[in-house]
Amino acid sequence: MAAPDFPEQLRDLIVASVEDDKAEGTVVLDLKGKSTLADYIVITSGRSARQVDAMAGHLLSKLKEVGLIGLDAEGTPQCDWVLIDAGDVLVHLFRPEVRAFYNLEKMWGVELPPDFAGFGAPAGDFLSV
């Protein structure tokens, strides 16, 4: 598998990986031209610390397969909130109650999905801030 040429391909690879792992409430924030932090932020939830840990491990493996090096996941001991910095895309993997508490979406001017009650939030919402 070749390394992604564009931030959009990297974003799509990340979203596909977390969706394969049954992530819930996936939101993609488009920051292109609005921040130097990253082009995209992916925020999603797993039902348990174990699922969040598995999602992080699978995602790191897939990113390494496409040639991204030096990646690490912050927050893996507890797996309440795991952060992966993939360069052009930042990935936040949460347990639902931790995600609701920190509400990163609101910090970027986007509300949590209306039916996000921890579980059962819609997947694959691509939002622009």
In this model, does residue 81 exceed pLDDT 60?
yes
Mind listing the pLDDT tens digit for each residue in 21-80?
Answer: 999 989 999 988 888 889 999 999 999 999 999 999 999 999 999 998 889 899 988 999
**What is the C-alpha to C-alpha distance for residues 31 and 29, in angstroms, rounded to an integer?**
6
pLDDT mean across residues, the chain: 84
Amino acid at 118: G
Does the CA dihedral 43-38-62-80 come out positive or negative? negative
Could you tell me the pLDDT band of residue 108, with boundaries at 50, 70 and 90? confident
* Domain boundaries of the chain, sorted by first residue: 7-128
pTM score, whole prediction: 0.83
Q: Hey, what are 113's tokens?
A: 């999905």
- Is CATH 3.30.460.10 correct for 7-128? yes
Angle at 49 between CA 61 and CA 51, to 5 degrees: 50
**What is the C-alpha to C-alpha distance for residues 94 and 97, in angstroms, rounded to an integer?**
8
Q: Hey, what are 43's tokens?
A: 């925020």
In this model, does residue 13 exceed pLDDT 60?
yes
